[in-house]
Structures are given as structure tokens and as C-alpha cells.
Amino acid sequence: MKEARIIYKEMQKEYERLEKRIAQVKQELTALPEGKLICAQGNNCYKWYVSDGHHKTYLPKRERRLAEQLAYKKYLTLLLEEMEHEKMAISFYLRHHSSGRNKFTHLLKEQAGYRELLSPHFKSASQELSDWMQTPYEKNLNYPEYLIHETIDGNFVRSKSEAMIYHALYLHKIPFRYECALTVGGETYYPDFTILHPRTGKTYYWEHCGRMDDENYSQRVFSKLHSFNVHGIMPGVQLIVTYESGKYPLRQFEIEEIIEKYFL
């Protein structure tokens, strides 16, 4: 499983790198001259021709600059073709990998009989941490109508991205509570996830900020994070913060990287 996650993350990164590089190459190609360079070997030298797809025209040596540009154009065209092929292959892998992962998630999430039998395998090795997860706590009772996304163990959260985080923590046997009350500076907040480190028992908080393209929402987010920071709960130390917008959604491999960094 760990090896598969590492490969998946590396493939995700390579796919994104290829997307950026492909866009750069396409941009470079738009700035190069029309036509295709043909190099033909003559008597101990090469002759250059420019083809428009139908006819070829001799290119004298004084047009070396044009020949260089067209040679570079051919190189970029072949490079682009190779990168597009590689991107397609990685895309196939990522789709296939995602499909396989969803099958065992579906088994736990949708089939209660299997979930009950398998639940011991996803409990923390420490009985103390397992008991902490099962102990009742003060939850966020505001807007219960937004709790519409079912989790892997039959609970409900407010967004698909929170469900992704929930599932990842659950599958990695990391003890957590969803929307557990936290009083900071006289104010009560409900961090998305309150987490106990599986080895050290240290408390972490994970806030996912899912509508950062909404100005009012983002202002409330930064106000809350400021309050946390003032009272000693610092981002990057014991506070984990993830962001997304309509244009930049949270991705599974990012969640896995965070979990690996902080808890594994």
C-alpha cells in the first residue's frame, strides 16, 4: 500500500510537470516561423529547404537564422509528441489506480456487513487512542442540514473534500474527531478534524478551507486562523490548513503527502 501511494504521488507530480511543460512548448511553437525544414545531404555539405507541405524552397546559407529556428521547431514538435504520449499513458494509470482504490473504499462505505467485520483492522493500535475516539464529545450542532456526505464508517461530513480527508485518516488508523469543540480566547470553534498523533499522542488540528474564491468566507477563515495563531495554535506546527477553490480543488495525493509528513 505504501509503495503504491508513493508511485501514485510521483505519477501525479509527473503528470502536472508534463502539463506545464507541454503548455510552455506550445507557446514556444507559436512564436516560430511557418514551414518545415528539410536537410538534404549534398557534396560534403547539407542543403536546406523549407516545405509548406506541398512544395519545397531552397534556403540559402545567408538564411541560417531561419534554418536554426525551423530546426528548433522540428525538435519541439517531436518533443511535444513524445510528452503528449507520456501524458496519455500516465493519465491511463491514474484513472486505473483511482478505480481500484474506490473499490475497497466502496466495500467499507456502502456495505455495512463488511464494514462491521473489518472495523477492527482500522482501529488505532493503542487502546487508549481507540477509547479517545469512541468517547462522546461536544460536536458542532450548527447547520446539520449540510452534513450530507457519507463517510467510510457511516458518519456524515459537510463536503466531499472533508470526506476525502476523513477517509484517509481512517484508513491510516490515525485517531481523530470530526468538528470537536475547541475554546480559544473565550470563543468556541469547531475545527474540522482534531487529531491525536498515533505515536506521540500530541494534538493536531486540521482545518480545510473549501470556498476560498468566496470573499466573505475567506475573510472568516483568516480571522479564525489569526485567533488560533494568537493563542498558540500555529499553522505548520500543530495546525494543518488546506485550501481549495472552484479552480483549484483539493487532490487526494496532497492529503496523502500531509498525512505522511505529520503522522507516518
Quote the percentage of the chain above a pLDDT of 70. Answer: 87
Quote the percentage of the chain above a pLDDT of 90. Answer: 39
- Statement: residue 102 has pLDDT above 60: no
What does the pLDDT read at residue 118? 64
Dump pLDDT digits (tens) for 122-133.
666 577 777 888
What does the pLDDT read at residue 100? 46
Pick the more confident residue, 103 or 190: 190
Give the mean pLDDT of 233-258: 89
Mean pLDDT lowest for which of 60-69, 88-97, 197-206, 220-229?
Answer: 88-97
- Statement: residue 244 has pLDDT above 70: yes
Give the mean pLDDT of 189-212: 92
Residue found by looking up cell 447547520 in the block: 143
Dump pLDDT digits (tens) for 8-51.
778 888 889 899 999 999 999 999 999 998 888 877 788 888 99
Dump pLDDT digits (tens) for 43-59.
778 888 899 888 889 98
Nearest to residue 48, comparing CAs of 32, 31, 30, 70?
70
- Statement: residue 117 has pLDDT above 70: no
pTM for this model (two decimals): 0.59
- State the chain's mean pLDDT as an integer: 85
What does the pLDDT read at residue 84? 93
Pick the more confident residue, 121 or 162: 162
Burial class (CB in 10 A: 0-12, 13-18, 19+), 108: buried
Instruction: Give me 253's grid cell.
Output: 495525493
What does the pLDDT read at residue 167? 87
What does the pLDDT read at residue 34? 92
The band of 106, judged by pLDDT with boundaries at 50, 70 and 90, is low
CA–CA separation, 134 and 55 (whole Å) = 78
Q: How many CB atoms lie within 10 A of CB 262?
A: 16
What does the pLDDT read at residue 96? 67
What does the pLDDT read at residue 21? 92
Beta strands per DSSP E along the chain:
36-41, 46-51, 56-59, 149-150, 156-157, 176-178, 182-184, 187-189, 193-196, 203-209, 239-243
- Statement: residue 247 has pLDDT above 90: no
- Statement: residue 87 has pLDDT above 80: yes
Burial class (CB in 10 A: 0-12, 13-18, 19+), 63: middle
Number of helical (H) and strand (E) elements in the chain, helices listed first = 7, 11
